[in-house]
Amino acid sequence: MGRDRTWLPLGISCIILGLAAIAIARDYPYGSVTAMGPGFIPTAVSILLIFFGALILAGRGRDVPESADGGEIAAPAFSPEGPWRAIGSITVSIVLFGMSIKPLGLPITAFLVVLVAGYAHSQMRIWPLLTLAVLLSAAATLVFIGLLGLNIGTLPRVG
């Protein structure tokens, strides 16, 4: 049995992205769980990203089958292209969220982010992805705007 190394770039990228986001959010007040400041959610999500990156690195060394000639049969990470498709689409979706939340509002931004992140899987079909984008967009709007009362726009800004 060989060692699966396809997950290495994905795990490292998660950790680096998480550390960078913590560095960016360090100057924002954290607040508390009941009165969250602007640095609370980005820091919490960054810690989770670092945690999952560490889990990916810890689990990446599992044995993978070898071919008849003794070479490894690679187990691709998310897609035939390896982890780079996943890393690229998730990174683009994060940047898209940051750039479009104010001008487009939460429902449209969440919809677009799910579509872009769905590209991480090469065999994702369009109708399930569109359904997922609509449902997650509605759920995010309900939770963050309806239930939590966050001051996030629901409609695109005009002018």
Per-residue pLDDT of the chain (159 residues; tens, 9 = 90+): 455 566 788 888 889 999 998 998 888 888 887 788 888 888 888 998 999 889 888 876 554 555 555 555 554 554 455 677 778 888 899 899 989 998 999 999 999 999 999 988 878 899 999 999 999 999 999 988 888 888 888 888 876
Q: Which domain holds residue 107?
A: 78-159
Same domain flag for 114 and 156: yes
Q: What share of the chain is helix, strand, coil (3-state, %, to 5)?
A: 60, 5, 35
Same domain flag for 41 and 88: no
Long-range contacts of 13-17 (CB under 8 A, 24+ apart): 13/53, 13/83, 13/87, 13/91, 14/49, 14/50, 14/52, 14/53, 14/56, 15/49, 15/50, 15/53, 15/54, 15/57, 17/46, 17/49, 17/91, 17/94
Same domain flag for 70 and 91: no
Number of other residues whose CB lies within 10 A of the CB of residue 54: 14
* pTM confidence score: 0.57
Same domain flag for 52 and 127: no
Same domain flag for 94 and 153: yes
Last residue of a domain, one of 21, 44, 75: 75
Last residue of a domain, one of 25, 53, 75: 75
| Counted domains in the chain | 2
Same domain flag for 136 and 69: no
